[in-house]
Chain A
Amino acid sequence: MSRRYGIAPYIMPPTITAASRFALTSSMMRSGSAAPASGTSPWSDAANTVIAFPFVLPVTTPIYKVFWVNGSAAGGNSDIAIYDENYNFLVGTGAATAGSGNSVPQVVALSATTWLSPGLYYAGMAHSATTINQVFRWSVATIGTAIWQALGCWKFAQTLPISGNATPADLTNVALPYFGLITRSGFDV
Chain B
Amino acid sequence: MPTSSLKPAMIGNPMSLSFPSSYRPNMVMIHPFSVEAHGDELMGGTTANLTSTTPAGQHGCMITLNDSFLVRKVWWANGTIGGSNNADVAVYSEDGATRILFGNGALMSGSNTVQEIDISDVLVPRGRYWMVYSQSGVTNGVLAVTMAVANVRAAGFAFASGLTVPIGSTWTPSAATSGIVPLFGIAGRTQVA
Give A contacts to B, CB under 8 Å.
1, 3-15, 17-21, 25-27, 29-30, 34-37, 58-60, 62, 67, 69-70, 88-92, 94, 103-105, 111-112, 114-119, 136, 138, 163, 178, 180, 184, 186-187, 189
Q: A18-B44, A19-B45, A21-B40 are in contact. Are A10 and B148 (CB under 8 A)?
A: no
Closest B residue by C-beta to A13: B64
Give the secondary structure class of A's interface.
Answer: loop
Count B-side interface residues using an 8 Å CB cutoff: 55
Contact of B1 among A59, A94, A117 (CB under 8 A): A94
Task: Evaluate contact between A115 and B8: CB separation under 8 angstroms.
Answer: yes
- Residues of chain B lying within 8 A (CB to CB) of residue A29: 43-44
Known contacts A37-B148, A187-B158, A59 near B44 by CB under 8 Å: no
Q: Are B44 and A30 in contact (CB under 8 A)?
A: yes
Annotate B92-126 by CB proximity to A: 1 below 8 A, 0 otherwise.
00110000000000000000000000000000001
A89–B22 CA distance with the chains assembled, in angstroms: 26
Given A10-B22, A187-B173, the answer on whether A114 and B3 have CB atoms closer than 8 Å is yes
Q: Report if B168 contacts A (CB, 8 A).
A: no
Residues of the B chain whose Cβ atoms lie less than 8 Å from the Cβ of A117: 4, 6, 18
Query: What 1/0 flags go to B19-45 for Cβ under 8 Å of A?
Result: 111110100000000010011111111
B22 to A58, Cβ gap below 8 A? yes
A178 contact set on B, CB distance < 8 A: 150-151, 154
- A4, A15, A35, A115: the one contacting B47 at CB < 8 Å is A35
Contact B4–A13 (Cβ < 8 Å):
no
Q: Is the CB of B4 within 8 A of A116?
A: yes
Report B145-167 CB contacts with A as 1/0, cut-off 8 Å: 00111110111101000000000
Given that A7-B23, A89-B2 are contacting pairs, would A104 and B153 also be in contact in the complex, using a CB cutoff of 8 Å? yes
Are the C-beta atoms of A35 and B46 separated by less than 8 Å?
yes
Contacts A8-B12, A116-B6 given: A14-B128 contact, CB under 8 Å?
Answer: yes
Whether B193 is near chain A, meaning CB under 8 Å from some CB there, is no
Query: Assuming the A-B contacts A13-B38, A186-B95, are A103 and B154 also in contact, with contact meaning beta carbons closer than 8 angstroms in the complex?
Result: no
Given the contacts A26-B41, A90-B4, A59 and B154 also touching, CB distance less than 8 Å:
no
Q: Which residues of A contact B127 (CB under 8 A)?
A: 11
Q: Are A20 and B41 in contact, CB atoms less than 8 angstroms apart?
A: yes
